[in-house]
Structure 1
Amino acid sequence: MANSGTPGATGPAADPALAAKLRAWWAHRQWLDGGHEGASAGEVLAATGWARSVGGAAPYLGLFARAGLGRGAVDAAVAAQEVHELPSARGCTYVLPAADFALGLAAGAGVPEADIASATKHLGVTRDEVEKLCLAITDALAPDRPLDPPAIREAVGGAVRGLGEAGRKRGTSTTLPLALGLLQARGQIRRVPVNGRLDQQRYGYVGWDQPVKGSAAELAQRYFSWAAPASVRHFRWFSGFTAATAKAALAPLELTGLPGTDLLLPVELAGEFEEFTAPAEPRYALLAGIDGIHLLHRDLPRLIDPGDAGRPVPAARGSRVFGGEADPQTHVVVDRGRIVGFWEYDTERREIVHQLFVPPDAALREALGRTEAFVRDELGDARGFSLDSPKSRAPKIAAMRAATGER
């Protein structure tokens, strides 16, 4: 999907003023231009979009950058089910506000069904055995006493079947993940972090009774409220919809095209966008590489100044450059929608290591220091994803230090 939504030569890339305005507008709509301190986690996610979660610090970093929310406030919102991590668009996990639980589950409902169909075809799994396992699991789970997968296996006994070497090769060693995925998609169970944290992948499951409902058009409406201007291809990336489904989803929406581009935005935002002026002063934010400012479109070049496109990717093999990547390979520093630096957290020295594309001013130093204190004092680390570790991150940190003359 790299660059799948990048406008052509007649688009923003050919008009630097429009490109800069779009970047600043996207940052404005993403609440990255200040003025939202004190908003709740649910309010942030409802206004700016679902936060991709892969066992890393992205949701915490995004909520901190947008509303100054500390880990305690976010964890309390998770515990109170004001926000929750759920399988949703494309079957991927996102942190959603409560108002979108039903829609998010509906958006991801097809993925577990596809997994079961594949297991039926290749591993001899029957629908009947999966449904019987689902019943056994729901009987074993309570709404307030999480059980981890080993405890569930013990509770349901022989209802879980091993799938042998063929299953291991396909990444499905038993029938348990198939049933858990189906029950989550149906809103009958939910996965909860054992220690209440979103950045550590130790989970238990509890019973739930969450409706699953929402149309493709409803998802499209949400998406364009967060991400517009966006192209049909951007929307298809986020939703995972086929061209036909995306076309049907967009049909009820009142969208207007941005002249000279393939970008669309709701009619009610067109006047606001036309009158919008980018802030004159920098507005810095330190974000995860999978933050919504990037991942809602997954079109990285739109956030990169052409002069930065040729920068080497830290510690990458070969001659990979920033402008040729589908996704950032580090966390990013953003100013009015433009990516102006790379950063990572060094757990040994307990500090942020950065490689900036612009000279640091007082505002940038403040943003770096504020985020460093948040990561050090409240998170302990800023993992990009579940398998990220200080050891795996060390080459990137060393490359950034070398690029800036540090040791």
Structure 2
Amino acid sequence: MTPNKLRAFWAARQGLLECRPDLSPETVLERTGWARSVGGAGPYLTQFARAGHTRPAIDRAVARLDIHELPSARGCTYVVPRSDFALALRCSQGFGDAAQVQTAKKHLGVTDAELDRLARAVLDVLAGEALDPAALKDRLGDLVRSLGPEGKKRGLTTTLPLVLGRLQTTGELRRQPIGGRLDQQRYAYVRWADSPLRGFALSEAEAHVELARRFFRWSGPASLAHFQAFSGLGVKASKAAVAPLDLRPVSKDSPLQTLPEHLDPLRAFVPPETPVYRLVAGLDGLMLLRRQLDLLLDPADVPKVEAIGGLQDLPSHAILDRGRIVGLWEYDPEHEDIAWSSFIRPDAALRAEVERTAAMIREHLGDARSFSLDSPESRKPRIAALRAGG
């Protein structure tokens, strides 16, 4: 099992070897996995690289609730297809906001009774309208308590975020992006009248099995450690989650395992002979499902990436060729183009893919932030380094 074959098979599982505009945004996420959302352009780049979808089509899918940004695996936010809303919410429970509640109770004098009163009031206030956090706080008045300097040190200024987080993971509230865009973090909250968790019967353990099933379907061959990193589960819970899947090793002594139905297709798989370039987000599913970049790099390129950002997450967005990371890129709003550098000799096809992606960003996004705090100003050193090395 050569590295080139494995990488190309991973790219195939991720929908990165052919562009499928016939697939809806919802179907893209069902087939290739939930798109990590951190207030950046990642969800848009995910769809564009796999199906050529641009912001209008994706925003319409958001407005229809075909896809939605939800607390999901590890309590992190992902853009999820409708068919997985309930599973994502169930898998978010016990992470993120739950840990913040425990901190607030332990160190800041917050009680369950206090949070329950506030939660009931939030649901009452949102009975007939959507409100942003500032408007919610005004309506709730003294029911929202400041947690003072000690809370601020722990990243908690008031009790309101604790309740909003809990009501989201239980499916009673949902956040809707103001303006309908996924590449910002301005939200209004609305009651979820037809909550996807209503009637959802899977236990926590059963939900973890379904998450594992999806993970290995999306990712292709992966290790137990890869699934742990994605799911946030411990060793024991991860082993229990994958046990019903009857995973098979891809080769003797390999830590990589795959679903039984993927084993023969993997063995028969022949990578494309010519390059298939894609420009994707730094947290694209191809990288995020593994968090082990050396598997996606040529050995000669490992030291280059290690020197600038380590081997867990990339310092910039990625250029791929058949699953191999062959370069890095950033969008430069000042010049309205992409600054990029490749580990390979650029050819006409690579330059065309760079321009295709740049044109989409110019026309539909205006920028391609990696995450909410990324800005054109903070990006300038990375842009300069890429142009110098391009």
User: Which TM-score band applies after superposition, normalised by the shorter structure?
Assistant: over 0.9
Deviations 1:161-212 (A, max 9, x none): 1111111110011100000000000100001111100001111100003233
| Offset of residue 35 of structure 1 | 4.4
Structure 1 position 301, deviation (Å): 0.7
SS in 2 for 1:69: coil
Does the 8 A contact of 1:309 with 1:321 survive in 2? no
Structure-1 residue corresponding to 2:245: 253
Q: Is the 8 A contact 2:177 2:187 kept in 1?
A: yes
Distance in 2 (CA, whole Å) between partners of 1:174 and 1:261 is 49
Decide whether the 8 Å contact of 2:9 with 2:220 is kept in 1.
no
Q: Offset of 1:142 from its aligned partner?
A: 3.9
3-state secondary structure, aligned to 1:151: helix
- Give the alignment partner of residue 295 of structure 1, picking from 277, 288, 293: 288
SS of the counterpart of 1:386?
Answer: coil
Distance 1:139 1:39, change over 3 A: same
Task: Give 1:199's aligned residue.
Answer: 183
One-letter amino acid of the structure 2 residue matched with residue 20 of structure 1: N
CA deviation map 1:258-316 (0-9, x unaligned): 11310110101111111001110110000010000100111111010011112267xxx
CA contact 2:173–2:191 (8 Å) conserved in 1: yes
Q: 2:324 aligns with which of 321, 327, 338?
A: 338
> Which residue matches 2:297?
304
- Look up the equivalent residue of 1:346 and give its one-letter code: D
The residue type paired with residue 390 of structure 1 is P
Question: C-alpha distance in 2, partners of 1:321/1:81?
Answer: 39
* Paired letter, 2:109: G
Residue 146 (structure 1) shift: 2.0
Name 1:188's counterpart in structure 2: 172
C-alpha contact (below 8 Å) 1:116/1:127 kept by paired residues: no
> C-alpha deviations, 1:81-119, integer Å up to 9, x for none?
000000111110000000000000001111233221221
Match of 2:383 in 1: 397
Asked if 1:234 is matched to 2:236, the reply is: no
Question: Equivalents in 1 of 2:234, 2:227: separation in Å?
Answer: 10
Q: Helix, strand or coil for the counterpart of 2:79?
A: strand
Q: Does 1:211 align with 2:204?
A: no
SS in 2 for 1:195: helix
Matches within 5 A, 1:4-403: 18-111=2-95, 112-142=97-127, 145-208=129-192, 209-212=194-197, 213=200, 214=202, 215-259=207-251, 260-311=253-304, 320-321=307-308, 324-403=310-389
Q: Is the 8 A contact 1:347 1:390 kept in 2?
A: yes
Distance 1:244 1:251 in 2: 11
CA shift for structure 1 position 36: 1.4
Moved over 4 A (4+): none
SS at match of 1:311: helix
Residue in structure 2 matched with residue 6 of structure 1 by the alignment: none
**For 1:209-265, what per-residue CA distance to the aligned partner results, in whole angstroms no more than 9, with x for missing partners?**
323344111111111111120100000000000111111111111211111310110
Aligned residues: 380
Contact preservation (8 Å) 2:318, 2:329: yes
Report the CA distance between 1:369 and its aligned residue: 1.1
- Residues of 2 paired with 1:268 and 1:35: CA distance? 24
Structure 2 CA distance for partners of 1:65 and 1:218, relative to 1, 3 Å: same
203-212 or 79-88: bigger deviation: 203-212
Q: Distance in 2 between matches of 1:129 and 1:312?
A: 48
In the TM superposition, residue 158 of structure 1 has moved relative to its aligned partner by 1.5
Q: Aligned Cα RMSD in Å?
A: 1.3
Q: Give 3-state SS (helix, strand or coil) of 1:354's partner.
A: strand
What is the CA-CA distance between 1:121 and the residue it aligns to? 0.6
5+ unaligned residues in a row in structure 2: which ranges?
none
